A and B are shown apart, each in its own frame.
Chain A
Amino acid sequence: MAGKELIAKSKNPVKTAEHAPFTPPPPPFRRLRGYAIDPSLSTQLETKPISQVVFRVPWEKLDSGPCGEYLEVIDADPGSGCYYEPVNLSDAALLAQDGLPPSEGSPQFHQQMVYAVASLTIRNFEHALGRRTLWRPGPPAKGANTKDDSHFEPRLRIYPHALRERNAFYTPARIALLFGYFKASAGAPGDHMGGSMVFTCLSHDIIAHETTHALLDGMNRGFLAPTNPDVHAFHEAFADMVALFQHFTFPEILRNQIVATRGAIDSQENLLGQLAGQFGRSTGLRGALRDAIGTTNDAGVWQPHVPEPEEYLNTREPHRRGAILVAAVFDAFLSIYRHRTADLLRLATGGTGILQPGAIHPDLAQRLANEAAKAAGHVLTMCVRAIDYCPPVDITFGEYLRAIITADRDVVADDDLNYRVAFLQAFRKRGIYPRDVRTLSVESLVWSGPHDDEAQPSEELQSMLTRLRSYSAENIYMDSRKQAFDLERSMRKEIHAWLGDHFQGRHGAEDSAYLGLDRGKPFEVRTARIAYRSNPDGGMFPQLLLGILQETTIPANAAEPQGAQMTFTGGCTVVADLRASKIKYCIRKRLNSAGRQERQRAFAGAAATSLRATYLGAETDGEPFAALHRGA
């Protein structure tokens, strides 16, 4: 009888106006299994326990592909003349088991892996940046102006099996990541079985690296124009840094490594250097990065690399040069980490700071892991935030250091843990200095502000900032990336129109000079963004970030004014406080800088002599990363 009653009840459920249908709370994460570093780790005893992790990526509605808000995985394999069925991660069977189990033999798992790591990278990047990111705009519609950038492209495409080679790259021309696969050579199989297929799309570091290229390009397209040896190297280094510090966000690995290498705990750089070493190896860069951080000597003992300023002067290959920058940042991280954990070690050792032999206490391991994760997070945030403070084109490592220091000082007034000094010291050891700083100190590295700049903006120019306040309000409440894209475009239009008029007016000459521009030439407002920074006192203030560019042509050979011409770009990044309506910094790359023109000529001249340029021409056909990674 009771059974009947139940059936009857369920047929006639109590339903009133006050009862909305039950909706479960949205899950905070989507849990997806994957390889922690790359598949080779699961075949080695020492690394088996940490070879797989569960990535916790932001929850979003996913179509099969996977295809979400930021990413679209398309598994076309033109090299093998076929396609693979897209995985549907919203399938209940997959939701219930944290996605597909890691497997090299299933293309659907490969799709899951690239989606998971790329999503995680985007999340970590946005977390550090403090706002949502956009990809670069798509190509202009047929017949439109070639500079038209109104084509909003919401998703980065990921092709996990697009190439048959040991390569993976980001292609700006298609806003896509292309991953390759290849057979491990029987002669030098490395960690792989000779003759087995190796997939670059299964390496955490390669996915994170390539995704970061796309993120950085979306923030600033000017970093793709190789005008000095640092530009491409910077792109590579930045991508490496984001991928490297992402390792520290996996607590399982971090704790395991801290416990496992306890013998080296009195020189923590050893342990963390090893982590970085894995990274160098798996990207197939023949250890460029690993060598920059440290090497294992003949006796199998790992030793940190002793930096020498000559390396920065003499290294030109972008990956190797970039590795110097990564090593500098990693060095800064190590100093910070040492500083943060010195008290812990003293507490754990009765004040000596010298550990007894044997395993370390699990609590200590946990606390050390926490500190490492925290320090890594801080360093990554400093590095990402600095992008807003970089010149719009022609970046050098020295200027990046200035950007890191300035951005950090704006947010953290009291540097009680000496983060900024740690950076300065790490860069100085490697001979990386800004070109135009007379003395090297944290104060002198901060970009020139209103108090010490060579030029001053007019009152009118600053008053323009008040007109832009309404955008700030809109910016706070927008809820889609498309809106952000449109908002930026209308801001850029308004600023461009205003500046164009202003340059012809009473203060035109002085303000165009202040911005490093030639008011007789057309200019482009490339970026106009609003960022919210928290004051040291806890309040928030809106900041306007402007990138203004101008192009001209100069003779490729200074002595031949009528000879071949090359493009020369100048402009500035303006960082302004919208609440106070004041320009804080104007970071210029003057269009008329003779020194810069000469340096760019010399750099272009050297590039033109490569074997590749001899036979294939200097053009890269809009694929700056493809050949760079092939390394011919």
Chain B
Amino acid sequence: MATRPVKKAARKTAPKKTVLKASGHTPVRVRMYRTGLGDCFLITFDPDGKPVHMLIDCGSLGSTTTGKKLSDAVADIRKVTGDHLHLVIATHEHQDHVCGFRNVNQEFLKIKVDDVWMAWTENPKDELAKKIKRYENDLGQALAAAAAALTGKGANEQDRQMGLAVHSLLDFAGDPGALGAAADKFAETIDEAMTFVRTGMGAKTRYLKPGTAIEDWLPNFRFYVLGPPRSLDKIQDLGEHGSPDIYGLRAGAIFQTTDPASHAQPDESEMPFDRRFRYAEADERISTGLASYFRNEDAWRRVDRDWLHSAADLALQLDNLTNNTSLVLAIERIGDGKVLLFPADAQEGNWLSWHDAETKFTVRDGTRKTAEDLLNATVFYKVGHHGSHNATASRKGLELMTSHDELVAFIPVDRRLALGRNPKGSWRMPAPALYPQLLEKCQGRVVRADLGWADDAKNAADKVTEAELVNPTTAPKWPAWRANQKKAEADARVRIEDLFIDYRLS
């Protein structure tokens, strides 16, 4: 696909060196790479003095709007950092956050990395983490098998569509193409990426639990760990009815996709009745006894693949579960208390847990901080989960971000790519309901990786992609919002380039 010219930064001339420590505090630069649907953020403390570099995630499901690749981003990272990253963070096990650590790891090998931080859920020695990983992996395998059975021979269109949707969701977590004998390789690529971050970079790895405030890593800055929660319920958040039996689904799906010629026997422990009760269609007791089931004119009443349809809901659960294991960091500049918030893809359960008792912080000088304090002081918000609706809590999240005059939001998204996933048009990122709320909160200072500054969607060049975001109620506000955007560029707070967009806290 041709690269559409992205909004050129005509004001690129903003002099880099003239912005000094205007506030008297150490400046911070956040660089969002425009590499599509996924996160890759380079944060540089004191960029004009003695820079300290930290990388949060390096992943993407692809980019159709900018056409920029992770390799482009990593090349820039190498250049900017002089092949030295002080800290690398992999927030959670999803391709759109970490696939770069596998696909371009040869480049990363050329970079010196001092420290690695990960969520406690990635700690191979943590019992609860192991339990979650085991469940995720089993569920992923069951779903990969179910997706294959749904799209296999004899599937009708509805089944096939559902199989494709499950497939699309699984792309986050692994490689749904790995099947049959290779089913246990489902998460192999993502495992490789995480293992590379854990051990391949030659850095010290630290696993973080919520409620931790890291004060000794960098002078003048504190790093607060808000999530993932230590409670399985909040991570898992399974909805009303609990989890269906994933092993039954898996056993059935694998059995169905096995070549009949192999005469494989099903796993007896997963069968509801003794063998003596089970008959094949060919048996006369069935072909005559249940003749109406096989009648052609009654084919619309058959139920051959309904049992696989739970896969769609399980795929949502899996996605939600892994997103909730996101490492959530709030970075505070101690001098003026301003906060940069990086919630990765945390979903509702994770957000709500920030306000729990165990996430109250008492820092060295005795000050107490709560999640609410940190949200109140947030001036930069990395929008969760590419702007999907469930990844920005409203009452316990966005509404608490009250630094209206300053707040800037960056959305790492490629809307066109998201809408192209299966089922077509359903992945709504950013979500039409959340988008205007964000704009309102930030007074227009919302930046998207695909387009640059957010604009009134009715002026969009790509009308089809932006159609859902058209919102006439915001129309009267746009003149003021555009002025705010101009101002943010003029004072070099935001700088838009082809490959990246910078935010600068001076």
* Bound Cα distance A316, B365 (Å): 46
Contact digits for A603-632, partner B, Cβ 8 Å, 1 yes 0 no: 001001111111111110101001101111
User: Quick check: is A269 within 8 A (CB to CB) of the other chain?
Assistant: no
Considering the complex, give the chain B residue whose CB is closest to the CB of A153. B301
CB-defined contacts of A161 to chain B, threshold 8 Å: 272
Given A162-B307, A285-B240, CB of A82 within 8 Å of CB of B245: no
* Bound Cα distance A161, B290 (Å): 14
In the complex, the answer to whether B307 meets A78 with C-beta atoms within 8 Å is yes
In the complex, the answer to whether B306 meets A163 with C-beta atoms within 8 Å is yes
CB-defined contacts of A81 to chain B, threshold 8 Å: 252, 255-256, 266
Contact digits for A248-281, partner B, Cβ 8 Å, 1 yes 0 no: 0000000000000000000000000000000000
Taking each of A284, A609, A627, which has the highest tally of chain B beta carbons within 10 Å of its own beta carbon?
A609
Number of A-B contacts (CB under 8 A): 208
User: Of B239, B312, B390, which one neighbours A616 at CB under 8 angstroms?
Assistant: B312
CB-defined contacts of B49 to chain A, threshold 8 Å: none
Given A163-B310, A617-B425, CB of A107 within 8 Å of CB of B241: no
Task: List which A74-126 residues lie within 8 A (CB) of chain B.
Answer: 74-86, 105-107
Q: A604 to nearest B CB, angstroms?
A: 12
Considering the complex, give the chain A residue whose CB is closest to the CB of B303. A162
In the complex, the answer to whether B285 meets A614 with C-beta atoms within 8 Å is no
Task: List which B131-167 residues lie within 8 A (CB) of chain A.
Answer: 158, 162, 165
Task: List which B416-475 residues lie within 8 A (CB) of chain A.
Answer: 423, 425-429, 431-433, 467-468, 470-473
User: Interface with A: B67-75, B274-282, B327-335, which one?
Assistant: B274-282
Given A81-B256, A86-B289, A182-B248, CB of A626 within 8 Å of CB of B307: no
Contact digits for B472-487, partner A, Cβ 8 Å, 1 yes 0 no: 1100000000000000
In the complex, the answer to whether B300 meets A139 with C-beta atoms within 8 Å is yes
Given A78-B304, A162-B303, A165-B310, CB of A85 within 8 Å of CB of B270: no
In the complex, the answer to whether A107 meets B273 with C-beta atoms within 8 Å is yes
CB-defined contacts of A618 to chain B, threshold 8 Å: 426
In the complex, the answer to whether A317 meets B319 with C-beta atoms within 8 Å is no
CB-defined contacts of B319 to chain A, threshold 8 Å: 615
User: Of B241, B248, B301, which one neighbours A285 at CB under 8 angstroms?
Assistant: B241
User: Quick check: is A408 within 8 A (CB to CB) of the other chain?
Assistant: no
Task: List which A169-226 residues lie within 8 A (CB) of chain B.
Answer: 171, 173-176, 178, 180-183, 185, 188, 197, 199
User: Of B241, B245, B307, B316, which one neighbours A629 at CB under 8 angstroms?
Assistant: B241
CB-defined contacts of A175 to chain B, threshold 8 Å: 301
Q: A169 to nearest B CB, angstroms?
A: 9
User: Quick check: is A9 within 8 A (CB to CB) of the other chain?
Assistant: no
CB-defined contacts of B239 to chain A, threshold 8 Å: 631-632
User: Of A74, A185, A563, which one neighbours B245 at CB under 8 angstroms?
Assistant: A185
User: Quick check: is B341 within 8 A (CB to CB) of the other chain?
Assistant: no
Task: List which A126-162 residues lie within 8 A (CB) of chain B.
Answer: 138-139, 157, 159, 161-162
In the complex, the answer to whether A609 meets B389 with C-beta atoms within 8 Å is yes
In the complex, the answer to whether B249 meets A614 with C-beta atoms within 8 Å is no
* Bound Cα distance A165, B311 (Å): 10
User: Quick check: is A167 within 8 A (CB to CB) of the other chain?
Assistant: yes
Q: A181 to nearest B CB, angstroms?
A: 5
User: Quick check: is B15 within 8 A (CB to CB) of the other chain?
Assistant: no
Considering the complex, give the chain B residue whose CB is closest to the CB of A173. B300
Considering the complex, give the chain A residue whose CB is closest to the CB of B158. A621
User: Quick check: is B317 within 8 A (CB to CB) of the other chain?
Assistant: yes
* Bound Cα distance A107, B271 (Å): 12
In the complex, the answer to whether B278 meets A80 with C-beta atoms within 8 Å is yes
User: Quick check: is A240 within 8 A (CB to CB) of the other chain?
Assistant: no
Q: A246 to nearest B CB, angstroms?
A: 23
CB-defined contacts of B470 to chain A, threshold 8 Å: 560, 563
CB-defined contacts of B290 to chain A, threshold 8 Å: 65, 74-76, 83, 86
Q: A74 to nearest B CB, angstroms?
A: 5
Taking each of A78, A106, A623, which has the highest tally of chain B beta carbons within 10 Å of its own beta carbon?
A78
In the complex, the answer to whether B303 meets A84 with C-beta atoms within 8 Å is no
User: Of B301, B309, B468, which one neighbours A157 at CB under 8 angstroms?
Assistant: B301
Given A107-B277, A166-B242, A614-B388, CB of A199 within 8 Å of CB of B272: yes
In the complex, the answer to whether B286 meets A176 with C-beta atoms within 8 Å is no
CB-defined contacts of A75 to chain B, threshold 8 Å: 290
Considering the complex, give the chain A residue whose CB is closest to the CB of B281. A83
CB-defined contacts of B405 to chain A, threshold 8 Å: none
* Bound Cα distance A267, B491 (Å): 73
In the complex, the answer to whether B426 meets A613 with C-beta atoms within 8 Å is yes
In the complex, the answer to whether B249 meets A164 with C-beta atoms within 8 Å is yes
Considering the complex, give the chain A residue whose CB is closest to the CB of B274. A105
* Bound Cα distance A557, B471 (Å): 9
In the complex, the answer to whether A72 meets B252 with C-beta atoms within 8 Å is no
| Interface residues contributed by chain B, number (CB under 8 Å) | 73
User: Quick check: is A1 within 8 A (CB to CB) of the other chain?
Assistant: no
User: Quick check: is B320 within 8 A (CB to CB) of the other chain?
Assistant: yes
Task: List which B374-408 residues lie within 8 A (CB) of chain A.
Answer: 388-390
User: Quick check: is B293 within 8 A (CB to CB) of the other chain?
Assistant: yes
User: Quick check: is A33 within 8 A (CB to CB) of the other chain?
Assistant: no
* Bound Cα distance A168, B116 (Å): 47
User: Quick check: is A20 within 8 A (CB to CB) of the other chain?
Assistant: no
Q: A536 to nearest B CB, angstroms?
A: 45
* Bound Cα distance A613, B307 (Å): 21
CB-defined contacts of A286 to chain B, threshold 8 Å: 240-242
CB-defined contacts of A560 to chain B, threshold 8 Å: 470, 472
Considering the complex, give the chain A residue whose CB is closest to the CB of B297. A141
* Bound Cα distance A285, B240 (Å): 7
* Bound Cα distance A199, B272 (Å): 9
* Bound Cα distance A288, B306 (Å): 26
CB-defined contacts of B280 to chain A, threshold 8 Å: 82-83
User: Quick check: is B313 within 8 A (CB to CB) of the other chain?
Assistant: yes
User: Quick check: is B169 within 8 A (CB to CB) of the other chain?
Assistant: yes
Given A85-B286, A285-B240, CB of A165 within 8 Å of CB of B307: yes
CB-defined contacts of B266 to chain A, threshold 8 Å: 80-81
In the complex, the answer to whether B423 meets A616 with C-beta atoms within 8 Å is yes
CB-defined contacts of B240 to chain A, threshold 8 Å: 285-286, 288, 317, 319, 631
In the complex, the answer to whether B320 meets A630 with C-beta atoms within 8 Å is no
Considering the complex, give the chain A residue whose CB is closest to the CB of B273. A107
CB-defined contacts of A284 to chain B, threshold 8 Å: 241-242
In the complex, the answer to whether B306 meets A162 with C-beta atoms within 8 Å is yes
Contact digits for B234-261, partner A, Cβ 8 Å, 1 yes 0 no: 0000011111110111001001100000
User: Of B272, B274, B471, which one neighbours A181 at CB under 8 angstroms?
Assistant: B272
* Bound Cα distance A140, B277 (Å): 36
Contact digits for A61-77, partner B, Cβ 8 Å, 1 yes 0 no: 00011010000101111
CB-defined contacts of A632 to chain B, threshold 8 Å: 239, 312-313, 316-317
In the complex, the answer to whether B279 meets A611 with C-beta atoms within 8 Å is no
* Bound Cα distance A502, B341 (Å): 67
CB-defined contacts of B388 to chain A, threshold 8 Å: 614
In the complex, the answer to whether A85 meets B245 with C-beta atoms within 8 Å is no
Taking each of A86, A616, A626, which has the highest tally of chain B beta carbons within 10 Å of its own beta carbon?
A616
CB-defined contacts of B158 to chain A, threshold 8 Å: 621
Q: A256 to nearest B CB, angstroms?
A: 31
In the complex, the answer to whether A612 meets B316 with C-beta atoms within 8 Å is yes
In the complex, the answer to whether B303 meets A78 with C-beta atoms within 8 Å is yes
Q: Which residues of B contact A (CB under 8 A)?
A: 158, 162, 165, 168-169, 239-245, 247-249, 252, 255-256, 266, 270-274, 277-281, 283, 285-286, 289-290, 292-293, 300-310, 312-313, 315-317, 319-320, 347, 388-390, 423, 425-429, 431-433, 467-468, 470-473
Among all A-B residue pairs, the 10 with the closest Cβ atoms: A631-B240, A165-B244, A617-B426, A632-B313, A82-B278, A79-B307, A182-B245, A559-B472, A631-B241, A164-B248
Q: Could you name 25 residue pairs across A and B whose Cβ atoms are closer than 8 Å?
A: A64-B289, A67-B292, A76-B290, A83-B283, A85-B279, A107-B272, A159-B303, A165-B248, A166-B241, A180-B244, A181-B248, A183-B245, A284-B241, A284-B242, A559-B473, A608-B428, A609-B433, A612-B316, A614-B389, A614-B431, A617-B423, A617-B426, A629-B241, A632-B313, A632-B317
Q: Given A185-B243, A611-B390, list of 5 further CB < 8 A pairs?
A: A75-B290, A79-B252, A610-B390, A614-B388, A614-B431
